[in-house]
Amino acid sequence: MKTKQEEILIGKVGVDSGCLMVGDPCYLDSDWNNEDYSKEVCSDWGLHKQLKGKNGYLKAVLFSAGFGDGVYNVYATIKDCGDWGKRVSEVRIKLIDEDDI
């Protein structure tokens, strides 16, 4: 039996550095030393960087965002997980629409 799922718009993310970051916000102040990532990450569409905290664990992934600065839609796939209830099973950021090309 296939489980039910739906995709919903959960928000929009604004970009002013040409980059986006996915990570756990609880580590923003405690583990990072104001790294200058913008030149290294945003100079090439294929370049990305994994940021690690003081203990060596992965804290975030940075990547170039679509055509750079702008506002991008963020979607979540909500899946019915039976006894666990509905859960976010996937998050997708729409960086480039067909209309943009």
63 and 43 Cβ atoms separated by less than 8 Å = no
3-class DSSP state of 67: coil
Q: Which residues of the chain have pLDDT under 70?
A: 1-3, 27-54
The model's pTM is: 0.72
User: Which amino acid appears at position 67 of this protein?
Assistant: F
User: Which amino acid appears at position 50 of this protein?
Assistant: Q
pLDDT at residue 13, rounded to an integer: 93
CA distances to 18, 23, 38 from 27, rounded to whole Å, are: 22, 8, 19
pLDDT at residue 101, rounded to an integer: 75
Q: Both tokens of residue 39? A: 């030149």
Long-range CB contacts (within 8 A, 24+) of 38-43: 42/17, 42/18, 42/68
Name the residue among 16, 57, 69, 59 with its Cα closest to residue 35: 59
